[in-house]
A and B are shown apart, each in its own frame.
Chain A
Amino acid sequence: MYQTVIGLEVHAELSLDTKIFCGCSTKFGQEPNSQTCPICLGLPGALPVLNEEAVKYIIKIGLALGCRILPEARFDRKNYYYPDLPKNYQISQNYLPFAVDGYLELPPSQKKGTPIKVGIDNVHLEEDTGKNIHSESGGREGYSLVDFNRAGIPLVEIVTRPDMHSLEDTESFMVSLRNILLYLGVSNCKMEEGALRFEASVSIRPDEASSLNARVEIKNLNSFKSVLRSLQYEIERQRRLLSGGEIVSGETRLWDEKEGKTLTMRVKESSPDYRYFPEPDLPPVVIKPQWIKTIRAAMPELPAERLRRFVKKYHLPPYDAIILTSSKSLADFYEEVVEGFPDGKHVSNWIMGEVLEKLKERKIGIEESSLTPASLSELLNLIKCGTISGKMAREVFAEMFATGKGAGEIVKERGLAQISDTRKIKETIDLILKKNPAAISDFQTGKKKVIAYLTGQVMKETKGAANPQLVNELLQEALQQQ
């Protein structure tokens, strides 16, 4: 039985309006090279000026991951040649990053008893590169084009320690980290826009006690799915090699999404020497303790705290709380519904049942659906005061979900309001009993089952609008009196 050892490098674009070292817009999907200037194009003579908001963001991330914030951080140049890198060096941090030595505690799962802590080696800030467009992906035949709109977009890189030992750990880490970044509001984490990207390193060893084998780094991972698929592929490849008595060599491999496999990009001996040295155009950034204090005080509640609070405040089972807080938007949604319908467990049941089921069907997140928290709490209130039945509620909910209309509006439109007016129900019962004298005698001879039949008749007469429980009670009463 092999042990798998996985580490991740996560790149997230910070959601700032302007680039890290110039005033250019960071808006996604604009005309190529329309969001550039001498600075992000690396023209001769241009100099970088640090966007201070980016530093604030990075400190927030560092604090959320339990890191130590270094009193003085510095930028370094990472030197390598690539056409999408305007200066042929990337301004990054190698020697003194903003935050070091943190951890992320994975949320408890049902399978595993003890919580897993994934160590964070460091959190640092750097500039994104541009994008090469080759002729097969829309560029001109025989040319490669470069779009520098992305060059200089602020990126955070989070480097973990090799503390993950399964795909489940890895997935849980990625989900939790994404969640934290969303909770902090520092990145939109849209993987389809490349705002969240990964590099994984993986090795396997015979058992926990053995020394680590050479690790393989996998690049070009742009979604949770590709991380997990590539790791799966790589673990199997390495296992096959080791079982066959071969050695796994340390190398960098590229994930081919279409083929579903990793390919050698470069072997260790030819790994690049980035010749890092301190960026002379940017002075060191001194982080005053007071600044950290201010940022800490303004930190939003994080997923782990929110989970604990949900259990305590709304009396939810941990399972419910884990699921509800697994996404910020879902947790926000839940709390807004509870505001209008203060029965935490009841709301949780609805969200974990109906709502998630519908979302799953449509493969969307709550933030993409037209369902509003106000209409869901309205629906729950309508059920509670008996205006509609549970069965009707499900139909109403389906329409709410599909159209975004309010619960009350739908009930009104469809004339679905449940009749709970005793007088009106009694009148209908009288009518039905008159039509069914045989049923009365059946009842009198002890055939109690006839009540169900009569209830059905009353419901039919009221087109299902009568409160069935009330009908049942009143029928019994009326029959006794006959």
Chain B
Amino acid sequence: MELAELAAHEIHCLLKKKEVSVVEVVDAVLTRIDEVDDNIGAFITVNGEGAQREALRIDQEISRGREILPLTGIPVAIKDLICIKGMKTTCASRILNNFYSPYDATVIEKLREAGTIFIGKTNMDEFAMGSSTENSCFGITRNPLNPDTVPGGSSGGSAAAVAAGEAIIALGSDTGGSIRQPAAFCGVVGLVPTYGLVSRFGLVAFASSLDQIGPITRDVRDCALLMNLICGYDPRDSTSAATNIPDYTDSLLNDVREVKIGIPKQYFGEEVDEEVAEAMREAMALFKRHGAKIENVSLPNTEYAIATYYLIATAEASSNLARYDGVGYGQREKSDNILEMYEKTREAGFGDEVKRRIMLGTYVLSAGYYETYYLKAQQARALIRDDFEKAFQKFDCLLAPVSPTTAFKVGEKTDDPLKMYLSDIFTIPVNLAGLPAISIPCGFNSLGSAIGLQLIAKPFNEEMLLRVAYTFEENTKMSR
């Protein structure tokens, strides 16, 4: 297999055995980017020279005795809403197309320290608002499995890069499914950690109470390795959780005996593609064969999730995106008076979907509607959280499809926002409840599109997710 298609832990072995150098790994990935990215469009910025320089430096340090940690020298792609010092952070928005971050996000500091190589910044839906990576001012990203289809979104660039060998591992962010859904569409592994487990410092906010950074990788082991690096309390993020971080590779056990898996019936309605549903049933059968206990469970408030999400997320977004006004940084449209400057800047700077959500969020928070919409949504959010809490009194994890369908065609849903929103119907409740969930490849449909299996656990039980996912992966070898 080609170097650019290996998993990080495989490359790590080669580096350890000195069979390859970091420079060779980076060159292999950059070559792949050269070959395919014109078609895929996974990157907004390719950090070619920077990555090569860094690779050389790390090789030299290794020759002087630097320890090769599990992800040392591994090319990582970063979603373009995570700040890297000195690099552009655009959020795929025209309004930030000239913004160079003067600081590193906490996760970037951690990756830097471990010696990973930042290969580039990946494409996404503008400000993470979308489910197909079609809302980017830099153009769309295509699904490497089938270029006529979308890679999912909003972390579509990161998922496509990992799937196409344009990066070995990647970071995405997940507000309503933005890691899991593209991972599912591109046939890779994606995990959204418990809210608060990974610092949001340096992650450009879409909806602060929902956003989480997480890994997108080729297999479950890489996912655990990346989790080992990025998790942990950060005093710079007040919503960060002060909790002990285990070694997640300890959870990579091919063993689900006595694990109680709940099947939420609300996630298997008629909107689910038959082939997707069939893949889920096969997964249940596999777990059963390996000793897991499978039972149905009800999450009765699931039906309110989409409405709740679009009230809370847009409310927060309308405020979070207010800062892009052309005053201090970013794109500015000139005008003689300040009000007009704001209007022109934001009119020209934001795309349609972003504008739509800012307007909705502004409305939700307006005097007279705050109680009706925002507070009501918070109450619904509490109910949704309660549903899960009750389920986890009985179950170790829940199993569901990531999305009702597989990757849809480019352009298929761009004219129908509501249809697009429904793509996240099974991922959104997890964010509302702040839970961890993983998306793993679970076969292909008859057209060759990837199907994603979602596992959901209670807060801070990523270990359970990794264990169950690893068991599935070991017994199907379906990743990649």
Partners in one complex: yes
User: Which of A38, A44, A89 counts the most chain B CB atoms within 10 A?
Assistant: A44
The interface residues of chain A lying within 8 Å CB-to-CB of B204 are: 44-45
With beta carbons under 8 angstroms apart, the residue of A45, A83, A276 that contacts B202 is: A45
A276 to B329, alpha carbons, bound, how many Å? 25
Most buried by B among A89, A281, A283: A281
Partner of A44 from B96, B209, B318, B325 at Cβ < 8 Å: B96
Q: Mark A327-368, 1 if CB is under 8 A from B, else 0.
A: 000000000000000000000000000000000000000000
Cβ–Cβ contact B238 & A280, under 8 A: no
Interface set, chain B 212-239, CB cutoff 8 A to A: 235-239
Interface string of A269-311 (1 = CB under 8 A from B): 0000101110011110000000000000000000000000000
- Whether the pair B83, A277 counts as a contact (CB closer than 8 A) is no
* B-contact bits for A405-432, CB 8 A (1 contact / 0 none): 0000000000000000000000000000
Contact B238 A45 (CB under 8 A): no
List residues of chain B with CB within 8 A of the CB of A283: 238-239
Instruction: Please give, as numbers and ranges, the residues of chain B lying within 8 Å of A146 by CB-CB distance.
Output: 327-328
Question: How far, in whole Å, are A38 and B329 apart by their CA atoms in the complex?
Answer: 12
Q: A277 to chain B: which residues have CB within 8 Å?
A: 315-316, 319, 365, 370, 374
Proximity bits, B312-349, A CB within 8 Å = 1, else 0: 00011011001101011100000000100010000000
Contacts of B327 in A (CB 8 A): 83, 146
Say yes or no: A44-B239 contact (C-beta < 8 A), given A87-B323, A280-B209: no
Q: How far is the CB of B267 from chain A (nearest CB, A)?
A: 27
With A77-B319, A86-B323, A281-B208 already in contact, the answer to whether A45 and B236 are too (CB < 8 A) is no
User: B238 and A48: CB pair below 8 A?
Assistant: yes
Q: Given the complex, which residues of B lie within 8 Å of A89, measured CB to CB?
A: 319, 322
Q: Is B269 an interface residue (CB 8 A)?
A: no
Contact assessment for A281 and B322 in the assembled complex, using a CB-CB cutoff below 8 Å: no
For chain A residues 199-220, which have a beta carbon within 8 Å of chain B? Answer: none
Q: Measured between alpha carbons, how far is A307 from B398 in the docked complex, in Å?
A: 68
Q: Is A41 an interface residue (CB 8 A)?
A: yes
Chain B residues, CB < 8 A from A48:
238
Residues of A within 8 A of B308 (CB): none
Quick check: is A172 within 8 A (CB to CB) of the other chain? no
Q: How far is the CB of A167 from chain B (nearest CB, A)?
A: 34
Which one of A38, A86, A87, A276 contacts B103 once the chains associate, using CB atoms below 8 Å? Answer: A38
Residues of A within 8 A of B105 (CB): 45
Cβ of A478 < 8 Å from any Cβ of B?
A: no
> Quick check: B366 and A275 within 8 Å, CB to CB?
yes
The smallest beta-carbon distance between A141 and chain B, in angstroms, is 13
Considering only residues 232-255 of chain B, those with a C-beta below 8 Å from chain A are: 235-239
| Interface residue? A49 (CB, 8 A) | yes
Chain B residues closer than 8 Å to A87, beta-carbon distance: 322-323
Alpha-carbon distance between A81 and B370 when the two chains are bound, in angstroms: 19
Cα distance, A81 to B323, chains bound together (Å): 9
CB–CB B101/A43 < 8 A: yes
Q: Is A42's beta carbon under 8 Å from chain B?
A: yes
List the A residue with the shortest CB-CB distance to B324: A44
Contacts of B205 on A, CB cut-off 8 Å? 44-45, 281
Q: Is A50 in contact with B89, judged by CB distance below 8 angstroms?
A: no
* Nearest CB of A to B310, in Å: 15
For the complex, what is the distance from the CA of A148 to the CA of B367, rounded to whole Å? 30
CA distance A47 to B205 in the complex (A): 9
Q: Tell me, yes or no, whether A188 is within 8 Å of chain B by CB.
A: no
Q: Tell me the complex Cα distance, A273–B238, Å.
A: 28
Question: Does B448 interact with chain A (Cβ within 8 Å)?
Answer: no
Q: Check A47 against B237 for contact (C-beta < 8 Å).
A: yes
Number of A interface residues at 8 Å Cβ cutoff, please give it. Answer: 30
- Per-position 1/0 for B69-96, Cβ under 8 A of A: 0000000000001110000010100001
A281–B82 alpha-carbon span in the complex (Å)? 17
CB distance from A135 to the nearest CB of B (A): 13
A46 touches B315 (CB 8 A): no
CA of A275 to CA of B208, assembled, Å: 17
Q: Is A79 an interface residue (CB 8 A)?
A: yes
Interface pair B238/A281, CB less than 8 Å apart: yes
Chain A residues with CB under 8 Å of B323's CB are 42, 44, 86-88
B421 at the interface (CB under 8 A from A): no
Docked Cα-Cα span, A81 to B338, in Å, equals 10
Shortest CB–CB separation between residue A350 and chain B, in angstroms?
54
Q: Which residue of B lies closest to A273 (CB)?
A: B367
Chain A residues with Cβ below 8 Å from B82 are 45
Chain A residues within 8 Å of B362, by CB = 275
A79-B322, A87-B323 known; A49 vs B328 contact (CB < 8 Å)? no
A134 CB to closest chain B CB (Å) equals 11
**CA–CA, A282 to B236, complex, Å?**
11
Residues of B within 8 A of A77 (CB): 319
Cβ distance B375 to chain A, nearest Cβ, rounded Å: 9
What's the Cα separation between A79 and B322 when bound, in Å?
A: 8
Known: A281-B238, A283-B238. A42 touches B208 (CB 8 A): no
Give bound CA distance, A311 to B433, whole Å.
62
Given contacts A50-B238, A275-B370, A277-B370, whether A45 and B203 have CB atoms under 8 Å apart is yes
In the docked arrangement, what's the CA distance between A273 and B362, Å? 10
A273: chain B residues within 8 A (beta carbon):
366-367
CB contacts (< 8 Å) of B203 on chain A: these are 45
Contacts of B207 in A (CB 8 A): 280
Tell which of A42, A47, A144 touches B328, judged by Cβ atoms closer than 8 Å. A42
Expressed in whole angstroms, the Cα–Cα distance for A148 and B328 within the complex equals 10
Instruction: Check B366 against A44 for contact (C-beta < 8 Å).
Output: no
The docked-state distance in angstroms from the alpha carbon of A41 to that of B323 is 10
By a CB distance below 8 angstroms, the chain B residues around A280 are 207-209, 239, 316
Q: Is the CB of A275 within 8 A of B365?
A: yes
Contact residues of B between 341 and 368, Cβ < 8 Å to A:
342, 362, 365-367
Which residues of B are found within 8 Å of A83, using beta-carbon distances? 325, 327, 338
**B118 CB to nearest chain A CB (Å):** 16
A280–B367 Cα distance when bound, in Å, is 19
Which chain B positions have C-beta within 8 A of A276? 365, 370
A280 to B208, CA, bound (A): 6
Q: Does B99 contact A (CB under 8 A)?
A: yes
Name which residue of chain B comes closest to A22, CB basis.
B236
Chain A residue with the shortest CB-CB distance to B208: A280
B286 to chain A, nearest CB (A): 39
Q: How far is the CB of B5 from chain A (nearest CB, A)?
A: 32
Contact with B along A55-90 (1 / 0, CB 8 A): 000000000000000000000010101010011110
Once A79-B365, A146-B328, A281-B239 are accepted as A-B contacts, the answer to whether A44 and B83 lie under 8 Å apart by CB is yes
19 residue pairs bridging A and B, Cβ less than 8 Å apart: A43-B102, A44-B83, A44-B89, A44-B96, A44-B101, A44-B205, A45-B201, A79-B318, A88-B322, A89-B319, A146-B327, A148-B328, A275-B318, A275-B319, A275-B367, A277-B365, A277-B370, A281-B208, A283-B239
Residues of B within 8 A of A (CB): 81-83, 89, 91, 96, 99, 101-103, 105, 200-205, 207-209, 235-239, 315-316, 318-319, 322-323, 325, 327-329, 338, 342, 362, 365-367, 370, 374
Give 8 new A-B contacts, CB below 8 A, not counting A42-B323, A81-B322, A146-B328: A41-B328, A43-B328, A44-B99, A45-B200, A48-B238, A83-B327, A275-B365, A277-B374
**Which 9 pairs show the lowest CB-CB distances between chains A and B?**
A88-B322, A275-B365, A280-B208, A280-B209, A44-B204, A45-B202, A87-B323, A273-B367, A45-B204
